[in-house]
Amino acid sequence: MPIGGGKNLASKYSKVIDERFTRESQAMLALSNNYDFTGVQTVNVYSIPVVPLTDYQRSGLNRYGTPDDLQRNVQSLTVTKDRAFTFIIDKGDKLQSEMVMDAGKAIQRNLREIWIPEFDSYVFKTLADAAIGNGAYSTTQATNQNAYELFLAGMERLGNANVPDQGRVAFCSYGFANLLKRDPAFMRNGDQSQQMLIKGVIGEVDGCKIVKVPSSRLPAGAACIITHPVAATAPKQLEEYKIHADPPGISGWLCEGRFVYDCFILNEKIDAVYYIGGQNTLIQMNVITAPGGSSTKAQVVFEPGQLDSNGAKWYAMSATSASGLTALTKGSNGAYQAITTSGWTELSGSGAIYTAGAATHKVIRVVEVDSSNVPIAVGDAVLNLG
């Protein structure tokens, strides 16, 4: 029978899922687990101050000086982050998609692509904010001539604060790592310089492990965060994932996940964090789209560039090809200029529904801006409409 005779032909899809690139948590390298948050929301950490030396007096009663009670300082660490996700896999959808919509695999995918990046981003921003608040930072623009000098300045700051030489970790953007490898001084003096020349890896320098991190997990404008695991602790009080088979009102599976966590810098260890930031670079957001219920709509999921309330907004635009997307421009000073919001659609946040101008649009650009509409982060993706 000819196709035009009214016979419905089922569409054929591959059982092999086109998975996106992911990576495991890198922030765990910056953390200690010395504090037990089991069963409590707040942990009080004590630190004991010292007393100054005085001249010994060879006469009188208080020859060592006037004694006083030894005091104690208390830092209260209260867990505040309580995050969750949920989705439904309809039994009919699973049967008619050749069983590729597996609940367990879908939860693991959400952990890899949403939960782990958020946790890492939160830890790295907490470290950067602590360093800035402590005055331990540099905003000098990194180049292939001064990158190693900026790195050494951070190492010197930690050394002068008696932070242990061994065990330090530097979390570098790929851009900063590339500048380091092109810096002649670093190539001459780095502990792994010969291996770098042969293998193109950084390794360990002056007892500090250098780890390359995607910019999507680092604060806006970040080049490098140098720290030691003794400085921070990040309790994960609850990591819970559930799959409910055929719950009331649903033929299929209801999937849920919840995460209670936080990150803290210890008051007496804050000198173990140094930040190189203020770079004229944008965070590269990972953007994912899914059909939004009509031929011109899509759900847009992305990793926000900032996880605090700093007046950030998100805008999106789409086009038939990448060349049709509005470019983000820099001024004469090298800093990104504020966008003109005409032509952009404001998103309420990650997971929002975006309406394209036409069903023929194939690509989408999401930009995060600050309160002055200056770009902080940007991400492009294939636009899945329907």
pLDDT in tens, the chain (386 residues): 333 444 333 455 455 666 667 778 888 888 887 777 767 788 887 777 777 888 889 998 888 888 887 777 888 888 899 999 999 989 988 887 766 678 888 899 889 988 899 999 999 999 999 999 999 999 999 999 999 999 999 999 999 999 999 999 999 999 999 998 888 877 666 555 444 443 334 567 878 889 999 988 999 899 999 999 999 999 888 889 999 999 999 999 999 999 999 999 998 899 999 999 989 888 888 899 999 999 999 999 988 777 665 678 999 999 999 999 999 999 888 889 999 999 999 999 899 999 999 999 999 999 999 989 999 999 999 999 98
Whole-angstrom distance, CA of residue 279 vs CA of residue 316: 24
Q: How far is CA 67 from the centre of its chain?
A: 49
Whole-angstrom distance, CA of residue 148 vs CA of residue 179: 8
Bridge partners of 138, per DSSP, are 276
Whole-angstrom distance, CA of residue 123 vs CA of residue 234: 8
For residues 313 and 369, is the Cβ–Cβ distance under 8 A? yes
Whole-angstrom distance, CA of residue 98 vs CA of residue 109: 18
Instruction: Specify the pairing of strand 297-302 against strand 287-291.
Output: antiparallel
DSSP reduced 3-state for 60: coil
Q: In what order do the strands lie in the sheet with 168-173?
A: 137-138, 273-276, 224-227, 168-173, 208-213, 204-205
pLDDT at 7: 38
**So where are the chain's domains?**
78-276, 283-382
Main-chain phi, psi angles of 92, to 5 degrees? -65, -40
Whole-angstrom distance, CA of residue 203 vs CA of residue 210: 6
Fill in the DSSP letter of residue 150. Answer: H
pLDDT at 14: 52
* pTM for this entry: 0.81
Whole-angstrom distance, CA of residue 168 vs CA of residue 162: 12
Whole-angstrom distance, CA of residue 33 vs CA of residue 194: 35
CATH of 283-382, one of 1.10.1760, 2.40.160, 3.40.50, 2.60.40: 2.60.40
Q: Amino acid identity, residue 296?
A: T
